Chain A
Amino acid sequence: MSEWTEIVDYFRGRSMWMLHYCTGCGAIELPPTMTSRWDMERFGITPMATPRQADILLITGYLAIKTLKRVIYTYEQMQAPKWVLGFGSCTINGGIYWDSYNVIERLDKYIPVDIYIAGCMPRPEAILDAFVKLKEMVQMGEAKGYEKYVKNYDWYKANQDKVLKRTSPVLKEIEKVTKIG
């Protein structure tokens, strides 16, 4: 049985499809990574259009609280062996938005991150390095972030709820507001 798992892990590492969630400036580093100069397809990594098809979720840059909600939806729509790459210092400690009122600071409080890519901006070499590292981790059977999410769902859910509470509409009780006005 373990041999079979090893074979499955080997092929999972050789074929990883990526969904890139590009809210920040990090999106600009991806076209050179995909196209002729750095060519990530030689590692079997291809950009995909929807979360259902993807294995890797690449979060490039800062996440406002509203976009965090969409990222969590996206992550939960992806199918079981799935990995998250946090890209840039914004996902590690908030980066230049460290004191912003509506930007999250540490991504792995909300969804499990397998690899962080440090830098502002990380170069395409750094992205490819992360992909190769992730491939090794997958083939060794070490990248188990998705299992961690299921096991510790209460903790993640509590953290998510704590910040997502702040996204409720300010003008929810519109009648009260207009009455005062």
Chain B
Amino acid sequence: MVIVEFLIKLSQGFGIGALALATGLLFGGIGRKIMARIQRRYGPPFTQNFMDLFKLLSKGSVSHGWAFDLGLVAGFAPMLAALMFLPIGPFTLLPSDSSLIMIVYLMMMAYLGMAMGVLASGNPNSAIGMSRALMLMVGYEVPFAAVIFSVYLFSKTGYLTQIVTQQAGGFMNWNIVKMPLGFLATEIALQGMLGEKPFDQAIAPAEIASGPMVELGGKYLGFGMIQHSVGLFLETGIVVDLFLGGAPNFWIFIAKQFVLYFIVILVDAILPRLRIHEATSFFWKLPLFLGILQAVIVIIQGGVLNV
């Protein structure tokens, strides 16, 4: 019986992975379409990303040694693992009472795995791009950690399903209403996590020839695209669970995710790229201030309530 349960969980895990990939690719395609319409172009069909992925996986590819192969897998596996702890609508594959910390930890591991892979290619552009990506991570993880801290204090639990349940019962119970400053800080950090402008220093095509992806070709680039799409699903998904009250079913969940992604695209369309030290110091000023202010407010409110 244990084996049967294990197999069921395994197939559900693959299903979630495929679902996240399809949603991420669809979001990417719709994002390209929206971007095109903002620039008064017709734009590619919204299924373009699926076609791109299919083409990339059918292309020939060249490896740069075993660390290169292994690094890409090590970059993708933590993302997939983090997905298993994420409440997607009412469904969580692996309920755990510390799922919030687990997801944040695994998200960071994914970047380190990717760093190992692309640095093995030995191209100086990928080294610059990866150093920028890690530098940016140092930037946005700090305000995001402050937000996680205030959510932890507010909900008194790290169990994401429970955080979602606490927000049940209408819009006024959502954390976005109770912790607006924290949401604002998260939204800015999300811009950096997804690597959209003004925080796309890592992948600067005209400047450092697309940074980490410079030596990825064919199937490897397809794998990078899969990783990016799953990351898109995961990072918007965690914000939905933390602030937008989760969702009763899958469709409302992706609708809420799409609202977040839509805001990200609009910001992406109008802002230019910052320099890397400007980006990092920006993250350590406004979003960090908002995050810490939110934590202080939560502590004061909690203290008042306890008395």
Instruction: Identify the A interface with B (CB < 8 A).
Output: 8, 11-12, 14-15, 17, 35-36, 39, 41-44, 47-53, 55, 78-81
Whether B48 and A53, one on each chain, are in contact in the complex, defined by CB atoms closer than 8 angstroms, is no
Whether B40 and A53, one on each chain, are in contact in the complex, defined by CB atoms closer than 8 angstroms, is no
Which residue in B39, B40, B48 is a CB contact (below 8 Å) of A44? B48
Closest-by-CB residue of B relative to A39 is B41
- B251 close to chain A: CB less than 8 A: no
Q: List 7 A-B contacts (CB under 8 A).
A: A14-B48, A14-B55, A36-B41, A42-B45, A44-B45, A50-B209, A52-B62
Q: A47–B39 Cα gap in the complex (Å)?
A: 16
Q: How many residues of B contact A (CB 8 A)?
A: 30
- B213 close to chain A: CB less than 8 A: yes
Which residue in A14, A39, A44, A80 is a CB contact (below 8 Å) of B60? A80
Whether B41 and A15, one on each chain, are in contact in the complex, defined by CB atoms closer than 8 angstroms, is no
Which residue in B39, B58, B209 is a CB contact (below 8 Å) of A8? B58
Q: A61–B205 Cα gap in the complex (Å)?
A: 23
Whether B32 and A15, one on each chain, are in contact in the complex, defined by CB atoms closer than 8 angstroms, is no
Contacts of B217 in A (CB 8 A): 50-53, 78-79
Closest-by-CB residue of A relative to B35 is A41
Which residue in A14, A50, A79 is a CB contact (below 8 Å) of B218? A79
Contacts of B214 in A (CB 8 A): 49-50, 52
- B270 close to chain A: CB less than 8 A: no
Whether B39 and A53, one on each chain, are in contact in the complex, defined by CB atoms closer than 8 angstroms, is no
B residues 179-223 near A (Cβ < 8 Å) are: 205-206, 209-210, 213-218, 221
Whether B58 and A11, one on each chain, are in contact in the complex, defined by CB atoms closer than 8 angstroms, is yes
Which residue in B48, B59, B210 is a CB contact (below 8 Å) of A49? B210
Asked, given contacts A11-B51, A50-B209, A53-B221, whether A39 binds B58 with beta carbons under 8 Å apart, the answer is no
B residues 24-75 near A (Cβ < 8 Å) are: 32, 36, 39-45, 48, 51-52, 54-55, 58-62
Contacts of A81 in B (CB 8 A): 58-60
Contacts of B48 in A (CB 8 A): 14-15, 44
Whether A14 and B42, one on each chain, are in contact in the complex, defined by CB atoms closer than 8 angstroms, is no
Q: A93–B181 Cα gap in the complex (Å)?
A: 65
Asked, given contacts A49-B206, A79-B217, whether A11 binds B42 with beta carbons under 8 Å apart, the answer is no
Best-surrounded residue of A14, A36, A47 (most CB of chain B within 10 A) = A14
Known: A44-B45, A52-B221. 6 other contacts (CB 8 A): A12-B58, A42-B43, A48-B210, A50-B215, A52-B214, A79-B59
Q: A46–B10 Cα gap in the complex (Å)?
A: 37
Least CB distance, A147 to chain B, in whole angstroms = 12
Asked, given contacts A15-B51, A44-B52, whether A35 binds B209 with beta carbons under 8 Å apart, the answer is no
Q: A129–B58 Cα gap in the complex (Å)?
A: 26
Whether A35 and B221, one on each chain, are in contact in the complex, defined by CB atoms closer than 8 angstroms, is no
Contacts of A47 in B (CB 8 A): 205
Q: A79–B44 Cα gap in the complex (Å)?
A: 24
Q: A71–B216 Cα gap in the complex (Å)?
A: 19
Least CB distance, B143 to chain A, in whole angstroms = 30
Contacts of B52 in A (CB 8 A): 15, 17, 44
